Structure 1
Amino acid sequence: MGNFFGLGISLREPTSLEECDSTWNSDSETEEYVGDRASGQTTPTPERKDDTGEEETEQTDRTIEPIPKPKRSFYAAKDLFKYRHKYPKLKDMRYHNDLCNLRFYMNKIPFKPEGVYIEDILSRWKGDYEKLEQNHTYIQWLFPLREQGLNFYAKELTTLEIEEFMTTKEAVKRYLLAYKLMLDFFGIRLVDKNGNVARASNWCERFKHLNESQHNYLRITRILKSLGELGYEHFKPPLVKFLLQEALVEETIPNIKHSALEYFVYTIRARKERRRLLRFAQQHYTPAESFIWGPPKKIKTEERKVAVKPTDTPSVVLDNKVTLEEVGEHKNQIKSETRSNENRQSKSSGEGSDTSASSPELNGNKNCVDEAEITSDSECHNFKDGVGIPPPE
């Protein structure tokens, strides 16, 4: 088994989708999007229309099948888990090899099997969308990874080659030009050194093509992975955010939304960035109930807290374990003894004498009854002896 980041710590192979996705494991931020629920708004449900285009006002005999809810792919989640953790089980050969990816970008060798050099691709293939679309072997050379692609002539990156590549200005310069070449193919342009992107002048035509040619989504996933390997991790969030905006808000590339959420977002290594993008997507995703990429169960937890309310008459226990029922029994005992004393005094004093008014013992009992009758639940702790039990008579 390989080690984790070279520290000698083994990373167990994930066996479930939950183990592959740690996006929400350390969500310490306070804001929570649940579609538009965060602002108290709800996403309007589009009104159904019949075949004539008019709004359907009556229930028809036709059975409308529910839209199937999308499902997460364990294969995709596991693949991106390994990528984000730098392929922990991969036995990387750090010793010097032929460095074919670096030499290709130094314009010293052509890519195989076509035999075309990087300078020819950058100068002659730009704008040739037919060639870029039909050829399927150049992409593995333009955006190398540490995993094998469909072109078996292309070699995987090694950690040594990555280090050499990132310190070679000529290779880095051509790599950025290759990135711009592919962005232009998709109808996008690079705006600045921070990786921000915008629509290119040809966006309308290219977005239409991108929406219909879904194999290009695999290319975008590869490009995002390669950016992270060669020092441009910060380029990934702006591109993914742009694609989500176009797919979910502008609806210019609606077919890309599932790949963007299932693959593109999860190429980003920073959990905070993934959460930010997923919250944005959830805010605009329709139908809202089909959004399956988180936040996971936070809202349900809040609902459970609201549902479990204390009863109207809770069982109150005093500090010394004396319950209100026992206090009530003591009060009844005092009343009973008071009545007995009144009867005895009446018999001994004869007619009409009010002995209860002159009896200190009875007055003390009477006061105790009054106090017991007016004592609230919160005051049951505060009897004279300080332990929560009424003083003895």
Structure 2
Amino acid sequence: MQMTFRWYGEGNDSITLKQIRQIPGVKGVVWALHDVPVGEVWLAGRIEEVVNQASEYGLNTEVVESVNIHEDIKLGLPTRDKYIEAYKETLKNLSKFGVKCVCYNFMPVFDWFRTDLFKEAEDGSTALFFDAKKVLSLTPEEVVKNMEENAKDFTLPGWEPERLKDLKSLFAQYKNISEADLLANLTYFLKEICPVAEECGIKMAIHPDDPPFSIFGLPRIVKNKEDIGRLLDAVDSPSNGLTFCSGSLGGNINNDLIDIARTFTDRIPFAHIRNVKHFGDGSFIETSHNVEDGSLPITGIVNALYENGFDGYIRPDHGRHIWDEVCRPGYGLYDRALGIMYLLGAWHTNALLKE
């Protein structure tokens, strides 16, 4: 297992590589070229810049999150092939610099979704919050406007602002796209991509839908154990894998996260681990990694991965905003560093017990 930490790049993150290097146990950064428009090839020169920046601090760059998927691929439009070819070129360029895992998602319109970015908790910290009632009472445009206005001048992770300027048109394109259609379009993409990924020694690791249920009527195809199994079976390739994200899958309290982790360990090259607390109306808030603070079996998940021989990458996922830190929503330094200590403690406890 290798512990990593997500970093948004020089000039685009409140956290420095020097600070990341000082977190015990962290071996690499999870990164991306966030300024490259979706669908364009990531050039070798730009990739090398980031690799060199991280290597100065002894950190590797083996995991990329994310090389975003162009919406035309998700929609299955005739133009998808040119974007798939560009994706292949990006994978080839990444492989030249030792990248071994690419996290991506296939969520329509929104990369992820919350209604509040800085919801205050009982202890005075703030965190990302999904208000089930608010989603029902507001339009997509209203919720997106609220998120963008409250991001504290930071870009929202994974979002493509240009794409969201005309939500009505984008939603109209998905009006007749079923879950079966979306899965077929993903399968088409993977059948094209996986042979190249295999040649490059790269594992493609799809991120679950966040949240793992339909919002505003959009199709969702990576919501639960059944969906994951169907997807992994659709393209039989060692490069067709899963990013196990406890916070995303844990958005549905009915998902058995320990069972999912145990069942698919050999197809999980990358894991995001975070805790969430559920409320009776379907809302949830992100909490500390401490199992007692949320509703998810965090230590049980770590145990399941360890017991089944997980040898991929882990990063602490979204953290709270604590100690008056000003940071990108969900991606501060302090609570994620605390989360790493919690996760390493759980992992090393398994190792000691095995001895």
Fold-level similarity (TM above 0.5): no
- Between structure 1 and structure 2, the one with the greater Rg is 1
TM-score between both structures, scaled by the size of structure 1: 0.28
Greater per-residue helix proportion:
1
TM-score between both structures, scaled by the size of structure 2: 0.30
Greater per-residue strand proportion:
2
